[in-house]
Amino acid sequence: MDDIRALTFDVFGTVVDWRGSLIREGEMLGRKKGIEADWAAFADAWRGLYQPLMERVRAGQLPWTKLDELHRIGLDSILSRFELGDLDEHEIDELNRAWHRLDPWPDAVEGLKRLKRKYVLATLSNGNVALLVNMAKRAGLPWDAVLGAEVARAYKPQPEAYTRTAEFLGLKPEQCMMVAAHGGDLKAASECGFRTAFVARPLEHGPDKEGDAGGSGNWDAKAADFNDLAKQLGC
Amino acid sequence: MDDIRALTFDVFGTVVDWRGSLIREGEMLGRKKGIEADWAAFADAWRGLYQPLMERVRAGQLPWTKLDELHRIGLDSILSRFELGDLDEHEIDELNRAWHRLDPWPDAVEGLKRLKRKYVLATLSNGNVALLVNMAKRAGLPWDAVLGAEVARAYKPQPEAYTRTAEFLGLKPEQCMMVAAHGGDLKAASECGFRTAFVARPLEHGPDKEGDAGGSGNWDAKAADFNDLAKQLGC
């Protein structure tokens, strides 16, 4: 563990609460436009299209398409189902950018600041650069580098997403620790040689659903939140 | 000017004093190894190979090669001329990484912190990501994003270096302002639609030589240093 130089982070669900934030954005839009919708169902439906749309890129059915554009394809397909069919282009674009305005989990900013003293902190997210930069600017996330799918031109869990991120950082995979709340992400990173840290985010899918079951995996570290991870890593 | 959302920075010479820092690194190595050399001449000779080596990549004579590797090719070619022929592989690699340890100009960190309140700050440098991340970590440079040649796969002044950086930021070129101490860099950025700010760095090439003559160009802003630029941009 002493060789670790960089921590690479999954972002959606691990650093930020995408579901709670999308509900908040939906409620704000609803008050402004007089729309009553089930915003939790809206958030879940939109996020539900995330993996299928990325899979079309991974499978080569779509050319490289950044996540902002995949989010927009998904949003367009559910607008009418959630009484959003009358929004104009500007309003739809603003709603699509809700992903740029996701709120961090309560421990995230403080934990990252602690971890940053000892490690290079980089995103290793499927989010595109602009999304992640705007999110970080708003939320105060202190990244040293914004990397991941767009600069690697590969969506996790494709191995190139991990290996190219390590190469950009000038590090061997074993000098990088993937931090995620999802077992599948950690498994893919581990298969590329990364060290792994599972952070529990039991509320990712809302209070009535369970968090990712990946916590039972055999990872290098398991933490209750980012401050706990910082403590375990001696920060 | 109100449309500007991001400032994109040249780094070598504009943000950091490459020449003074390489002289410092040479002197430290000299003391440790008992080598007496003209470290200013060494710095100038090494930097003198920068453009010719990048030109080989731009011209397609070399495949894409990151700047760390070009620096190493250049260093290897001048080692014997500066009494460095007895260094071992580890020592040469450490010396090559002197570019990761360049010191900022005295106003740079404070000026960037002021500018960061209002703008997205991104590198648009020919340096590779690891070099720029390690430099920023050591010097406290508060970038929002580390972009430029390596992620764009094009060396300035090739237009793709500028246009792809704007695309990564999700911005139109005219929403980006290139900040540089070099007229050639600003001219190329301007031709891609970027706004331009010239920052004078009269000591870049040492006290006995003149700085870049680009200050006489017709740029959107001209500043004495980063604090002056922050003041002019209302930060």
- Which residues in chain B are classed under CATH 3.40.50.1000? 6-17+102-232
Position B235 scores a pLDDT of: 95
Task: Check CB contact under 8 Å for B170 and A146.
Answer: no
Residues of B near A (Cβ–Cβ under 8 Å) read 68, 120, 122, 128-131, 133-134, 136-137, 144-147, 150-151, 168-171
pLDDT band at residue A36 under the 50/70/90 scheme: very high
Chain B CB contacts of A120 under 8 Å are 133-134, 137
Position B106 scores a pLDDT of: 98
pLDDT band at residue B210 under the 50/70/90 scheme: confident
Position A73 scores a pLDDT of: 98
pLDDT band at residue B231 under the 50/70/90 scheme: very high
Q: Residue range A161-178: average pLDDT? A: 98
Distance CA B191, CA B159 (A): 8
- Minimal C-alpha gap between B144 and chain A (Å): 6
Residues of A near B (Cβ–Cβ under 8 Å) read 68, 120, 122, 128-131, 133-134, 136-137, 144-147, 150-151, 168-171
pLDDT band at residue B172 under the 50/70/90 scheme: very high
Position A210 scores a pLDDT of: 86
In tens, the pLDDT along B66-118 reads: 999 999 999 999 999 999 999 999 999 999 999 999 999 999 999 999 999 99
Position B190 scores a pLDDT of: 98
In tens, the pLDDT along A50-98 reads: 999 999 999 999 999 999 999 999 999 999 999 999 999 999 999 999 9
- Residue whose pair of structure tokens reads 């650093």 in the numeric block: A15
Chain B CB contacts of A134 under 8 Å are 120, 170
ipTM of the complex: 0.96
Residues of chain B above pLDDT 70, percent: 100
Domain A18-101: give its CATH superfamily.
Putative phosphatase; domain 2 (1.10.150.240)
Q: Residue range B191-202: average pLDDT? A: 98
Task: Check CB contact under 8 Å for B169 and A133.
Answer: yes
- For A5, nearest residue in chain B (alpha carbons): B134
Position A196 scores a pLDDT of: 98
Chain B CB contacts of A128 under 8 Å are 168, 170
DSSP E strands: which ranges in chain B?
A: 6-9, 120-125, 145-148, 176-180, 195-199, 221-223
Q: Which of B122, B129, B136 sits opposite A169 (nearest CB)?
A: B129
Q: Which of A68, A129, A171 sits opposite B145 (nearest CB)?
A: A129
Output the DSSP codes for A175-191. Answer: GEEEEES-HHHHHHHHH
- The amino acid that residue A194 corresponds to is F
Asked if pLDDT for residue A112 goes beyond 90, the answer is yes
Task: Check CB contact under 8 Å for A170 and B134.
Answer: yes
The token pair at B183 is 């007229």
The token pair at A157 is 């869990």
Distance CA B61, CA B224 (A): 38
Asked if pLDDT for residue A215 goes beyond 90, the answer is no
pLDDT band at residue B1 under the 50/70/90 scheme: confident
- Minimal C-alpha gap between A37 and chain B (Å): 30
The token pair at A71 is 């989010």
Q: Which of A68, A144, A151 sits opposite B137 (nearest CB)?
A: A144
In tens, the pLDDT along B138-169 reads: 999 999 999 999 999 999 999 999 999 999 99
Position B13 scores a pLDDT of: 98
Position A214 scores a pLDDT of: 87
- Which residues in chain B are classed under CATH 1.10.150.240? 18-101
Q: Which has more pLDDT, A212 or A158?
A: A158
What's the mean pLDDT when you consider all of chain A? 97
Taking alpha carbons only, the member of B66, B215, B195 closest to residue B127 is B66
Distance CA A40, CA A207 (A): 11
Asked if pLDDT for residue B211 goes beyond 90, the answer is no
Q: Residue range B32-39: average pLDDT? A: 95
Residue A175 CA from chain centroid, whole number: 22
Position A86 scores a pLDDT of: 93
Task: Check CB contact under 8 Å for A144 and B147.
Answer: no
- Minimal C-alpha gap between A29 and chain B (Å): 23
Asked if pLDDT for residue B119 goes beyond 90, the answer is yes
Give the best residue of A168, A169, A171, A175 to mutate against chain B (max B CB count within 10 A). A168
In tens, the pLDDT along A146-155 reads: 999 999 999 9
Asked if pLDDT for residue A212 goes beyond 90, the answer is no
DSSP B92: H
Task: Check CB contact under 8 Å for B130 and A170.
Answer: yes
B6-17+102-232, what's its fold? Rossmann fold (3.40.50)
In tens, the pLDDT along B48-72 reads: 999 999 999 999 999 999 999 999 9
CB pairs under 8 A between A and B: 57
Give the best residue of B5, B115, B117, B129 to mutate against chain A (max A CB count within 10 A). B129
Asked if pLDDT for residue A102 goes beyond 90, the answer is yes
Task: Check CB contact under 8 Å for B136 and A144.
Answer: yes
Residues of chain B above pLDDT 90, percent: 95
**What angle in degrees, to the nearest 10, is found between the helix axes of B50-58 and B39-48?**
10
Asked if pLDDT for residue B215 goes beyond 90, the answer is no
CB neighbour class for A228 (10 Å; exposed up to 12, middle 13-18, buried from 19): middle
- For B69, nearest residue in chain A (alpha carbons): A170
Distance CA A98, CA A27 (A): 12
